[in-house]
Structure 1
Amino acid sequence: MQAKLRKIDHNLIKLLGERISILSKLKPLSVQEQLSDVTSLLAKFGVPDSVWENIVISCVATLNTVCTSPDSLKPRRVTVVGGRGAMGQFFTQQLFVAGHDVSILEKDDWNYASSLLAEAELVLVCVPTEFTLDVIRNLSKYLAPTTALADITSIKTPIVQVMLEHHAGPVMGLHPMFGPGVKSFLSQKIVVCPGREYNAFQWLLDLVESKGGKLIVCTPEDHDQIMIAIQAIRHFCTFSLGVFMAEAGIDIGLSLEFSSPIYRLEIDIVSRLFAQDPSLYVDILLASEERRKTIGRLTSTYSRLADMVAQKDKAALIQEFEGTQSVFREEAARALKESNYVINALSTFLAATEVEQRSVCHSAEDSVSET
C-alpha cells in the first residue's frame, strides 16, 4: 500500500507541476473560477472542498515566483554578521541556495574579520538590536569603499544614520516583517530604507522579489513611526495578555479544549511571543520615547474602558464600539475573507494532527499488546 501511495504522490506532483505551468500561461483566473466547475467531482470522489481550495490557492501563489525569476545570476560574495542566529540563518540559507558565496561572521570570529569583510560585496548585519550599533562601528573599518552594508533590525533611523557615518560606501536599512519560522520570501514583506547608492543592492532586492517577496520603500523616519503601531503596541498587547493569563493561573491547555479557532489563534500568537528571546521584544517596546509614551496612552484607554465595564455602562461601551467600528469598516470584507481562510486552514491542520495522534496511540497500543 505504501508503494501505491508513493506512486500516487509522484503522479500528483507531476500533475501539479503541469497545472502551475499552464496557469502561468493563462490570463489570471480567480480562485473561485478554478473551484466552481469541480464541486460535483469533489463530492463524487470524497475530496473535501477545503483540500482542493488549498491546492488551487497554493498553485496560484507559486506564480509570484515562477513569473519573476531572474534571467541570469551573478554570484556575489556575502558576509552575514550573526549568520548563525535565527534570522541570520534564514538569510544565509536563502542567499546560498540562490548561488551566492556566503560567509558567516560571529562574535568569536573577529580575529578573522579582515578576511571575512574586506572582500565582501555585501555585508548583512543580522545581530540583536542592542548590539547592532557597536557591531557596525567595529566592522566599518574593514569594509572596502564599494562594499554594500545593510542591516535587518526593526529600528531604522539611528542605525541607518550610524551606517552612513561610519561607511562611505553603499548603505541600506532592511526590516523583514516576518520571523525566523518562515521557509521562504513568498508573500513576505521587507521594508527598504535607502541610505546611499541604492543600485548596489538591486541584485539583492531582485532576489527577494523573484522569490515572491514584497518590498516597501520608505524613509527610516517613516518606518519607525509606523512600527509604533505594527510592533510596539501589538507586542505590548500580546505581552500583557500573556502576563495576565499567567498571573490568573488560567489552564491554557484546558482552555484550548473548549476554544474556538479564533481563540486558539490568539493563544498561538501569545505562546509564539513567549517562545522567543525576551530581549528582542523588550528592546522593541523600549526603543524610543515615542513608543513608550504611546504604550502609556494605550494603558489609559484600557483603564477608561475597564471603568465603563465596572460601572456597567452599556451605552458608553456601545458608543465606543460603534465609534471604532466606523474606522475599521472599510477593512471588514478583507478581514473576514482572510480570517475565514486562516480558520479553515487551521481546522484542516488540527484534523490532520488528530489523525496523526490517533495513529501514534494505536501503534503504541499494538506494541504493548505484542509484548
Structure 2
Amino acid sequence: MTAPGLRRCVVVGGSGAVGGMFLELLRPTADELCSVDTAAPRSGEASKATTWLTADITSLNPGGEAARRIAAADLVLLAVPEPVARAAAGPLTALMRPGAVLVDTLSVKSHLIAELAGCPGRTEQVSINPMFAPSLGIAGRTVAAVVLREGPGVTAFLALIEEWGGRLLMLGPDEHDRITAVTQALTHAAVLGFGFALCEAPVDIGQLTAAAPPPHATLLSLLARMAGGAPEVYWDIQAANPHAAQARDGLAKALRQLADLVADGQERDMASAFARIRGFLGPELTQYQMRCERAFAALQAPPTQCDSPAPSDS
C-alpha cells in the first residue's frame, strides 16, 4: 500500500549504504522510485525497479532528468555527507514543489537546519538519524527524528518508519545534537582512544587475542568494527557536532581523574566512584549487566564462514 501523498520518491545518494537501505524500504510502497547519485549503482542494483540517474545535486541541470524528477517528487531523501546536503539545500528547496517532503539523514542537525532556515520554498521538512548500521536493518532499531516543518507528508513518512519496524525517538534540534555528542562522539572517542593507545603499546595483536579477557575482547571487537568503516563518517561526527568537543574534554578529564585517584592511593575513592556510576545507571543497571553477559557469551563462540564484517554504526 502506498503511503498517503508519497507516491513519487527520490533518494539522493542511493549508491551508499544509508541511501540503499531507504531505496529498499521505499520500493514496495512507492509508485515511482529514483536514485540520484554521482556514483554508479551498487552491484546488482541497476536491474531493480528503480530509475538510476547520475547527477550532482549541488549543480543540477535545470532541464535535466534529475531536476525534473526532484521537481515532481512527493519525497526527496538526502543520504549524503553534510557538506553536500548543505550545498544542495537551497537548490533543492527552490526546485521542489510546495508540500513535498524533504528528509535528511545527517548525524548532526544544527548546521543544515540553519542552512534550511534561509532557503526558499514551502517544503515540509524532517531530519532523521538512523542510530544503527544499515546492514543491521531498521526493524527494532531507533530512528531519531527532528520535525522542522510539519505537514501531512511528514506525518506519513514518520508513520512509514514505524511500519518498517523502526522505533521513533522525537527530539528537538539541539537536544538531538547534545544526545548524539554522548552516544556517538563520546563513544567513538573512547574506542578510538583505546585504539590509539594500543598502537603505542609494546604488544602485538596475536598476544592480545590469546590473552584477552571478555572486556578487552569486546573493546577489540568495537575497534575492529569502527576501523572497517568510513573514516569520513567518524570525522563528521567528531568535527561537525557543536557539542562533541565538550564530550571529548569530559573523557580526557575523566581519565585524568582516574589517574589521580590511583596516584593518591585511596582505595575508598574508587569505591565511591563505582557507587556514583551505579547511581547514574539507576534502574537500567541490571538490564545492562544482563546484556553484557550475553555479549560475553557470544564472544566465546568462534566466528563461522557465514560471519562477515558489517559497515560500522555512525
Question: Is TM > 0.5 for Structure 1 vs Structure 2?
Answer: yes
CA contact (8 A) 1:153 1:175 kept: yes
The structure-2 alpha-carbon separation of the partners of 1:105 and 1:342, relative to structure 1 and needing over 3 Å to count, comes to: same
Residue of structure 2 equivalent to 1:235: 188
How far apart, in 1, do the equivalents of 2:194 and 2:299 lie? 22
Provide the TM-score with structure 2 as the length reference: 0.81
The yes-or-no answer on 1:130 pairing with 2:83 is: yes
Summarize the alignment of residues 1-371 of structure 1 with structure 2, pairs less than 5 Å apart: 72-74=1-3, 76-107=7-38, 108-110=54-56, 111=61, 112=64, 113-166=66-119, 167-182=121-136, 184-347=137-300, 350-351=301-302, 353=304
Deviations 1:13-46, CA, capped at 9 Å, x for gaps? xxxxxxxxxxxxxxxxxxxxxxxxxxxxxxxxxx
1:249–1:115: structure 2 CA closer, same or farther, 3 Å change rule? Answer: farther
Distance 1:144 1:205, change over 3 A: same
Which segments of 5 or more consecutive residues in structure 1 lack a partner in the other structure? Answer: 1-71, 357-371
CA drift at 1:204: 2.3
Q: Is the 1:77–1:119 Cα contact (8 Å) retained in structure 2?
A: yes
Share of identical aligned residues, percent?
Answer: 24
Other structure's SS at 2:144 match: strand
Larger helix percent:
1
Q: How many residues are matched?
A: 282
**For 2:98 and 2:305, how far apart are their aligned partners in 1?**
57
2:25 and 2:164 in contact (8 A); partners too = no
* Whole-Å separation in 2 of the counterparts to 1:282 and 1:305: 27
**TM-aligned CA deviation for residue 294 of structure 1:** 3.1
Query: For the Cα contact (< 8 Å) 1:190–1:213, is it kept in 2?
Result: yes
The structure-2 alpha-carbon separation of the partners of 1:309 and 1:130, relative to structure 1 and needing over 3 Å to count, comes to farther
Structure 1 residue 277 displacement after superposition: 1.5
Is the 1:172–1:194 Cα contact (8 Å) retained in structure 2?
yes
Distance, in Å, in 2 between the alignment partners of 1:233 and 1:332 is 20
Q: Distance in 2 between matches of 1:116 and 1:250?
A: 56
Q: Residues 186-239 of structure 1, C-alpha deviation per residue, up to 9 Å, x if partnerless?
A: 111111111112421233222221222100112112111211211111111111
Larger radius of gyration: 1
Greater RCO structure (CA 8 Å; 6+ sep): 2
Alpha-carbon spacing, 1:249–1:147, altered in 2? closer, same or farther (3 Å)? farther
One-letter amino acid of the counterpart of residue 269, structure 1 = L
RMSD: 2.4
1:123–1:150 CA contact under 8 A, matched in 2: yes
Calculate the TM-score normalised by the size of structure 1: 0.69
Give the AA of the match of 2:55.
Answer: D
Q: Is the 8 A contact 1:150 1:172 kept in 2?
A: yes
Measure the CA separation in 2 of the matches of 1:351 and 1:296: 37
Distance 2:263 2:162 in 1: 51
SS of residue matched to 2:161: helix
Over 3 Å counting, the alpha-carbon distance change for 1:352 and 1:282 in structure 2 is closer
Quickly say closer, same or farther: Cα 1:164–1:122, change in 2 above 3 A: farther
Alpha-carbon separation, structure 1, partners of 2:222 and 2:183: 14
Q: Give the counterpart letter for 1:109 in structure 2.
A: A
Aligned equivalents of 1:355 and 1:73: distance in 2?
A: 35
Deviation at 1:256, TM superposition (A): 2.4
Judged with a 3 Å threshold, the aligned counterparts in structure 2 of structure 1 residues 306 and 78 are, in CA distance, closer, same or farther, namely same
* Structure 1 Cα separation of the partners of residues 179 and 30 of structure 2: 34
- How far, CA to CA, are the matches of 1:97 and 1:267 in structure 2? 39
Q: Which residue of 2 aligns with 1:21?
A: none
Q: Is the 8 A contact 2:8 2:30 kept in 1?
A: no
Per the TM alignment, residue 245 of structure 1 is displaced from its structure 2 partner at its CA by 0.8
